[in-house]
Amino acid sequence: MPKDTFKQLPEEKAERIIESAADLFSERGFSRTDVAEIASRSGVAKGSIYNYFESKDDLFMYVCRDGLARWREAVYGDIDKTWDVYHQIDHMFEKGAAFAQEHPKYIRLYLNVTASGMEEYAEELTPESEGHFAIYFKSLLERGIEEGIVRSDLDIPLTSFLINSLYLMFLLSLVSRHFQIRIKEYLGMKGSLDNKADEVARRVVDLIRTLLKPMS
């Protein structure tokens, strides 16, 4: 947890630190990131970082948690719960893609938490970040079934898991070299993915709709 001094910081300065830290952690991973560089990039002294955070670990945890919250907010923030399931999923993919392209670093942080040797962080962050989604998707599907726009013979929890997995893989494809190469292998794409993100998003949502909708 950040120290009180961090909370009292001018927002602009705090933001600079978080940005630099997120940049570096997401580019290089936890171990390869140097606290001194975070400091110099954000224009504060090395010692100051330790006035704000207990340790590099503490800073990392804060940055991850903060990044994941921004991600959630960007995606869910302006969702209208009255929309139908496909509309909401479509919105999530669209907003997710926009967020991934604007702030790839916050999504890359996700990969830091999944990495080997980061179990300690996962233990704390994963339930926070995934719990919401799990409940959200499940209730979305249930309502869809009630409304007759989702087939009723599905294993709901697993279908939620499926949708989220697709969602995750899609976003990671926009921010991680590995997942980018991977998706291009599957979709037979060449060149940058960036200008096709929306198109791919639409295809994914279409596929989901095709698979979920009741048989006519």
Partner DNA sequence: AATGAATGAGGATTCATTCAT
Partner DNA sequence: TATGAATGAATCCTCATTCAT
Among positions 83-142, residues that touch a second copy (CB under 8 A) are 108, 111-119, 122-123, 126-127, 130-131, 133-134, 137-138
Distance, in Å, from the CA atom of 85 to the CA atom of 83, rounded to the nearest integer, reads 7
**Span near DNA by CB under 7 A; candidates 33-41, 91-99, 119-127, 158-166:** 33-41
Q: Least separation, in Å, of the C-beta of 168 and DNA? A: 28
Give the CB-side neighbour count of residue 127, counting CA atoms within 13 A.
3
User: Is residue 199 a contact residue for a second copy (CB under 8 A)?
Assistant: no
Identity of the residue, 128 or 146, whose beta carbon is nearer to a second copy in the bound complex: 128
Distance, in Å, from the CA atom of 87 to the CA atom of 144, rounded to the nearest integer, reads 11
- DSSP designation for 42: T
Between the CA atoms of 55, 56, 61 and 62, what dihedral angle is there, to the nearest 10 degrees? 70
CA distances from 11 to 58, 84, 96, 150 (A): 19, 38, 25, 45
Query: Which spans of this chain sit near DNA (rule: CB under 7 A)?
Result: 3-5, 8-9, 13, 32-36, 44-48, 50-52, 55-57
Query: Which spans of this chain sit near a second copy (rule: CB under 8 A)?
Result: 25-32, 108, 111-119, 122-123, 126-127, 130-131, 133-134, 137-138, 153-155, 157-162, 164-166, 168-169, 172, 176-179, 181-183, 185-188, 203-204, 206-207, 210-211, 215-216
